[in-house]
Amino acid sequence: MKLTGHGKKWLLGMVIFLLAGFLFAKGDKESSTASSEKDEGITEMELFVNHSWWTLKNWNGTIPEEITNETGVRLNIHVATDSNQLPLMIASDELPELIYTSNEGSGFYKMLSNSNVCYPWNELIEKYAVDFKPDPMLAKINTVKDGNFYTILNNLSSQNEWNAKPKAIPAGMPGIAIRTDLMEELGNPPLQNLVDFENTLMMVKKNYPDMIPLIMEPNWLGAYFRAAFGTQETGFEIKDDKLIHVLYEQEQLDYYLFLNRLYRNGLITAENFAIKGGDSARAEEFALNGKAFAYQHEITIADRLNTKLERSDKNFRFNLISNLLSENFEFYQNEIGWSGVFITKENKNPEKAINFVKYMSSDKGQMTGLWGIEGRDWSMHEEGYPIFNYNSQDTDFLDHEGIFWWGLLFSTAANEGLGKFVPGTEMTEAGLEMKKVAVFRPELGLIKPEPESDIDIISKKIKDMVEIEEINIYLAESEAEAEEAYYRMIGLAERIGLEKYSVWANEQYGMIKDSF
């Protein structure tokens, strides 16, 4: 199970500097035997969750118990304390039996997609679970150069599954929540387009001078407005059967100029752009403390804010803007999934592991993990969406029962989306409206450079540069200065290597486009 080559040398070098931070306790591993038969027919397996922010730290609650009853597997959970643990484990051959990690940036997906390190799912399926038939498109997307797939990333669905589940609302849709009481005080001004929205913010500024008209969640900063202008944050768009980087789109410039105008008119603050992604609660506090009229985040935001406001006995609430504020609205879905479970060669019982994967990947397993026990926690409406017997926005209840988080290990985007459908709500109305303008292009998600390659370095440098330079556009003192800052940013991207990046991307697109 040894890694060789440059990746191994790099990882071993990290061990020298970071070994003191290796917190995956070997003593714990020795004191409780992995894959041990704790109860009759129950196998314990270690699961390392490579997300330090993961909420649930143990396999407790009625839903984990139900999953164990169905699969005969009880998970021993270890959540990463930082981003250094997994590379240290790989380098030192101290791997747990199961690993849940993302495909974003780190290179872990490639390192674990290696037959010396992990079992290929397809080989285990052929040997132990011949009736397990993953979606062909998802298997194809996750197949690596050796012809095997070692995981199937979650949060992705084929077009066939979306068609089969019309009530499913795609994840990641941006939304804007607005104060209901203040809208009534203002006479419920129209909100049919961006001009109406901007005019309403101006009314808020005039009538409530101590209030911030609009605050944006830092990880979703501008997301709604980019979609309203028909563009996306980064990457490529398909134009005339070729890939064009979004920096060259007129819609991108229009988006920047719109947010700059909101800033110059005092409708958003410079402080909003200074709030870092890891401090998103700070942005939310403006809404919860009654200091902001509108909060731009994602489409569940009004429900979540109202749940918290109700608990704190606050006397105001938020509504979601459910209609699209632009005829140019496009919601891009270029992802190929997010995180996946790998079965390492340390696994003592790969047969049970792949059958655990089989159950959790089934509709029944996903729905149990995401929603709870059918008949007790939810029932399926005849039109194909769950009716919950609890408040699905009550995170304390979800965490106590073990609902949602363990379903994410293997959930498809469509099954996650079904849980968002609540008839008659603004969130559902907004989600279905935005689904109409959703653009599903997983082929663009496959166009990713090899970690640490020249193209990867160029793309990261461009991304980092944009994050710095776009502040100069947002906070420019005039529209002319904002436009000048935008074209200066494009020039910097070209000097970094945007043309080389674009040529490479089009070569990759040419090789895969006919498969989609």
Same domain, 79 and 158: yes
Residue 370 lies in a domain: yes
Q: How far is CA 342 from CA 16, 85, 267, 350, 353, in A?
A: 26, 16, 47, 11, 10
Residue where a domain terminates, one of 391, 416, 440:
440
- What distance in Å separates the CA atoms of residue 234 and residue 219, rounded to the nearest whole number? 14
How is the beta sheet containing 43-49 ordered, strand by strand?
Answer: 73-79, 43-49, 98-102, 339-343
Same domain, 382 and 469: no
Residue 389 lies in a domain: yes
Residue where a domain terminates, one of 440, 461, 494:
440
Residue 398 lies in a domain: yes
Burial code of 303-323, b = ≥16 C-beta within 10 A, e = fewer? Answer: bbbbbebeeeeeeeebbbbbe
- What distance in Å separates the CA atoms of residue 95 and residue 312, rounded to the nearest whole number? 44
Q: How far is CA 353 from CA 45, 50, 300, in A?
A: 8, 18, 34
- What distance in Å separates the CA atoms of residue 141 and residue 161, rounded to the nearest whole number? 15
Residue 99 lies in a domain: yes
Using alpha carbons, select from 384, 388, 404 the residue that is nearest to residue 396. Answer: 404
Q: 365 by DSSP, 3-state: which?
A: helix
Residue where a domain terminates, one of 410, 440, 470:
440
Same domain, 88 and 130: yes
Tokens of 26: 């070997």
Tokens of 266: 């005092």
* Number of domains into which the chain is organized: 2
DSSP 178: E
Residue 483, burial from CB neighbour count under 10 angstroms (0-12, 13-18, 19+):
middle
Residue 60 lies in a domain: yes
Its pTM stands at 0.76
Same domain, 178 and 215: yes
Residue 10 lies in a domain: no
Same domain, 76 and 119: yes
- What distance in Å separates the CA atoms of residue 364 and residue 374, rounded to the nearest whole number? 9
Give yes or no for a contact between 118 and 344, defined as CB atoms under 8 angstroms apart.
Answer: yes
Same domain, 453 and 435: no
Same domain, 83 and 129: yes
The domain that contains 466 carries what CATH number? 3.40.190.10
Same domain, 345 and 396: yes
- What distance in Å separates the CA atoms of residue 189 and residue 423, rounded to the nearest whole number? 25
Same domain, 422 and 497: no
Residue 34 lies in a domain: no
Q: Which domain holds residue 107?
A: 43-165+337-440
Same domain, 251 and 201: yes
Tokens of 136: 């062909």
The one-digit pLDDT tens for each residue of the chain (516 residues) are: 444 444 444 444 444 434 434 444 444 444 344 444 456 789 999 999 999 989 999 999 999 999 999 999 999 999 999 888 998 898 888 899 999 998 775 578 888 999 999 999 999 999 999 999 999 888 988 998 899 999 999 988 887 888 899 999 988 889 999 999 999 999 999 999 999 999 999 999 999 999 999 999 999 999 999 999 999 998 999 999 999 999 999 999 999 999 999 999 999 999 999 987 667 788 999 999 999 999 999 988 998 899 899 999 899 999 999 999 999 999 888 878 889 999 999 999 999 999 999 999 999 999 999 999 999 999 999 999 999 999 887 889 999 999 999 999 999 999 999 998 988 888 888 888 888 888 888 888 888 888 789 999 999 999 999 999 999 999 999 999 999 999 999 999 999 999 999 999 999 999 888 776
Same domain, 192 and 125: no
Residue 303 lies in a domain: no
Phi, psi of 438 (to 5 degrees): -75, 140
Same domain, 478 and 376: no
